Amino acid sequence: MIRLIDYQAEASRRVRSFLKKARRRQYVQTVTGSRSQVIRLHDDNLWLSPKKATSPNQIARKRLVKAAAYVYYTRTCVIKDVERFCRMSSALFGCLVEMFSDISRVTETRTGLRRLTILGIRVWLSGTESHPRDLALAASRGARWAMFNYLYLRKQGKENWRRYKAKNGIEKLFIDSGGFQLMNGFSFAKVKAWDLHDCPIDIEEYADFLKRYRKEFFTWSNLDVRGNDALSAAHFEFLCDEGVCPMPIWHIDSSPFSYLEEILTKVDPPCVGIGGILTIRSWRKRNELLSEVFDRFPDVNFHGFGVCDQNLFRFPWHSVDLTSAIVAPRRFGKVMTYQGQVPRDPKWDPTRAIHESLDFVVGLESNYRGEFQGQLFE
């Protein structure tokens, strides 16, 4: 059985456990490493006395719960992200770091901020924007995250996708710009010569779409142009100027590491998408490149576009998107497991096989320990 995460309930449980520890220890450690003394603690409020404060400060229990639920929902945050919950943001962030210490990692970003990231892999089911029955099937197995392709939605010209999303209880969408698919129809030489007005996808229309429906989305990708990093960077800057800053994309098959360094230094994003993985036909070469990425950037959260082979389990992905949970059982008679895609049980019909695959990928988000990572290669 899969274990679905009830963010609010899990947050309440973690806050309750944390407050019990704080009562016994009588202090809370802030993000800077200093200690705030716990001078009063009851059901509704935590009263702290920082060293430099002239009077005690209060963090309401309900604020702690909201902040913890936010961490479960976003899966990564820095101190500025939790300022909305409490003016004692450093103490609050320190509380969150301790609350989630058993299922998270804390890293330092390129700008010197501490980032709290929940372990496990969030899987975005892609390819369902044109197959509402598949979306309903996924939702029936607990899927709450889906990736929709902007190119398809633009071509459709309707808002049926919003009805599909709402009807099936999908939490939020990840919007893929469709840039990778479209650019595959052009040579690198031609793409490299493009400027801001040559791209077949209008960046202004994409920005307008994101602004119009942003409440439906969790995140969205940059309008990346494989083979033209300068244009990808220009698109990223334009979208940020429009107030819809996207997930930056780095292409493993065509972009130099210097461009990834530039992204991390200038943007300091919560997550970086790695594109171009599936264009590398050799599994060995693909594995070598991904190994280099994760070795060189161990503190970065990465999203893997289209990762559904054994590399899903070899590396500590923050999130991935895939179609294979539904497509592989239906077309190839295979199900997703910790050993990769394996032939389904002969006693299972395709629907049962799809259910097993969906249960598996949905459950990866709450597999905080990542026991599967590396076991295939021991």
User: Which structural domains are found in the chain, ordered by start?
Assistant: 7-118 (no CATH), 122-377 (3.20.20.105)
What is the average pLDDT across 75-104? 91
Cα–Cα dist 88/177, whole Å = 38
User: What is the tens place of the pLDDT at every residue in 218-275?
Assistant: 999 999 998 899 999 999 999 999 999 999 999 999 999 999 999 999 999 999 999 9
Mean residue pLDDT of the chain comes to 87
Query: What pLDDT score was predicted for residue 369?
Result: 72
What is the average pLDDT across 22-38? 68
Phi, psi of 125 (to 5 degrees): -80, 120
Place 48 in a pLDDT band, splitting at 50, 70 and 90: low
Cα–Cα dist 278/362, whole Å = 22
Place 315 in a pLDDT band, splitting at 50, 70 and 90: very high
Q: Which two tokens stand for residue 272?
A: 């970086």
Place 217 in a pLDDT band, splitting at 50, 70 and 90: very high
Entry pTM: 0.91
Place 192 in a pLDDT band, splitting at 50, 70 and 90: confident
Q: Per-residue pLDDT for 43 more than 70?
A: no
Place 377 in a pLDDT band, splitting at 50, 70 and 90: very low
Place 375 in a pLDDT band, splitting at 50, 70 and 90: very low
Closest to 374 measured CA to CA, from 319, 316, 318, 314: 314
Cα–Cα dist 125/138, whole Å = 8
Phi, psi of 193 (to 5 degrees): -90, -5
Judge whether 116 and 71 are in contact, CB under 8 Å: yes
In a 3-state reduction of DSSP, which class is residue 287? helix
Judge whether 72 and 78 are in contact, CB under 8 Å: no
